[in-house]
Amino acid sequence: MIAISLGLAFVSVLVTVTVTDLERRVIPNAILAAGAIAGLAIIVPAEPSSLPERAAAALGAGGFLWLGTLRGGDGMGMGDVKLAALMGLYLGTAVVVSLAVAFAGGAVAGLALLARHGAAARKRAIPFGPYLAAGGVLGLWAGDPAIEWYLDTFLRD
């Protein structure tokens, strides 16, 4: 039951973030705060032992994207950083898969823009929130099995 409740809350946040980021190029703090409150309201009573892992995933994912903002410019914004942290809260370690999918999707979109518009594409901004959301959905459905496959294939005897 927790997986269904958590999944519905998470997907609701991701859909709202995607629409808002595409329309306004911003990920509002209010949406992220509501998502965090909803996630904690589901997780704390049902799986309190998972909080340390989820907190570490949130800090790791948010911190990783935050490093990308340090270079300055008009690139990734703090809304993307906070969304990544929220994804860590919901997904735990599966957030790694989500971030990989998001960056791959963003890279493909960027390459397509470069192919179509040449050097002028460098001045075009594309919102990253929808790519994070797509990665989040994939992480929700297949993140844990993907991590297990990777560990079994490359790291375990």
Residue identified by tokens 């397509």 is 112
* Phi, psi angles (nearest 5°) of residue 47: -140, 60
For residue 69, what pLDDT is reported?
86
The type of residue at 76 is M
For residue 73, what pLDDT is reported?
64
Give the rounded percent of residues in the chain with a pLDDT score beyond 90. Answer: 79
The type of residue at 47 is E
For residue 18, what pLDDT is reported?
97
The type of residue at 141 is W
d(CA 57, CA 84): 9
For residue 74, what pLDDT is reported?
67
Whether the model pTM is above 0.85? yes
Task: Retrieve residue 80's tokens.
Answer: 């993307």
Task: Give the count of beta carbons closer than 10 Å to the beta carbon of residue 21.
Answer: 25
Task: Retrieve residue 67's tokens.
Answer: 């490093």
d(CA 63, CA 18): 21
For residue 116, what pLDDT is reported?
87
For residue 110, what pLDDT is reported?
87
- pLDDT tens digits, one per residue of 59-83: 999 999 999 888 766 678 899 999 9
Task: Return the closest-CA partner of residue 126 out of 70, 87, 78, 74.
Answer: 74
CB 93, CB 52: distance < 8 Å? no
Low-confidence ranges of the chain (pLDDT < 50): none
CB 88, CB 95: distance < 8 Å? yes
